[in-house]
Amino acid sequence: MTIHSSILPDYDDATEVYRSNRSILVRVERRQDGTKVLLKMLHPGNTDPTAARVLREEFGILQQVAGKGVVAAFRLSPSAVGPLLELEDLGPLTLEQLPEQPIEQVLHIGIQLATILGHIHAKGVLHRDLHPGNVSWNTETRQVTLLDFGSAARVARHSARGTVAGLGGAFGYWAPEQTGKWTNPIDRRTDLYALGGILYRLITGTAPGPESDLLAAIHAALAVVPLPVDQVRRDVPRPLACVVSRLLAKIPDDRYQGANGLLSDLLHIRDELRLTGRVTDFELGTRDVPEILTLPRRLFGRDQATEQIYEALAADGNPEQSPI
């Protein structure tokens, strides 16, 4: 869809590339210098009185986490249709368009994503909407870049406190705490769960959960453990399969506690694979030292009762009638 030039007088060749209930993304060319950029603007039908503030918050967050691997935000300017967020145009290709990838490529992408998450988490920001469609892919440089910080949130850098639990993220890549059925807060480990979902998709060609049905996605996030990736592909080293399974653990305490611990294990796997052509089993998480103190929320010695609760939650289609 082409946007009329009178709406965006400072830009030429405006073409809509994405539309949601909240916002519209438009590819344009700056009239001043001919640079191609993306503009994020409010959807005309968006009646949320806080929508403009959310867009300003996104701009502030992008400035806060600016660096390699994060889409650049150039400016936020007023217009007749509301605030315009001017973003770096990285092209249309994302990880969503990639088929199953060679193991070396999976490790290359995983190492970059772990590094980027470590950076934004250290800056006190959670992405909260990480999935293949929100990761740009440059075929020439093999660089990945995180996109769309519209759901991102600031948290205290040295606090275990996260944001409130609730619906969020993308179908198929939800962590259990994003289903609205858990009281667990969304924290750094939620982003790491989504990263595990991306690795699962790159290895197997499918998301770890259903991508089109709300109730099926909630049930899968709460109760369905994805088939280990080394049972889907024979060329997957067992330690890499264990890394992915650890990232996709239902209970946050069982996941990696920080991006740096994940990065260390991925580098170990990559380096050994390069040197010997294979990867021997090793203990995961030896360098997964929590960057913040997080008290465990698990009920120790209550595994059977806890499992019954999970099953009841997964079978219940109405979050408001949850048994806990």
Instruction: Kindly state the DSSP code that residue 193 receives in the 8-state scheme.
Output: H
**Sign (positive or negative) of CA dihedral 120, 121, 125, 129:** positive
Instruction: Kindly state the DSSP code that residue 174 receives in the 8-state scheme.
Output: -
Angle at 314 between CA 243 and CA 209, to 5 degrees: 40
Q: Are 53 and 63 in contact (CB under 8 A)?
A: no
Angle between helices 303-315 and 214-223 (to 10 degrees): 170
Pairwise CA distance, residues 257 & 259, whole Å? 7
Pairwise CA distance, residues 217 & 319, whole Å? 13
Tell me whether residue 129 is one of the annotated catalytic residues: yes
Residue with tokens 């600031």: 154
Catalytic residue (choose from 89, 129, 187, 265): 129
Over its C-alpha atoms, the chain yields an Rg (Å, rounded) of 21
Q: Are 147 and 58 in contact (CB under 8 A)?
A: no
Name the residues annotated as catalytic: 129
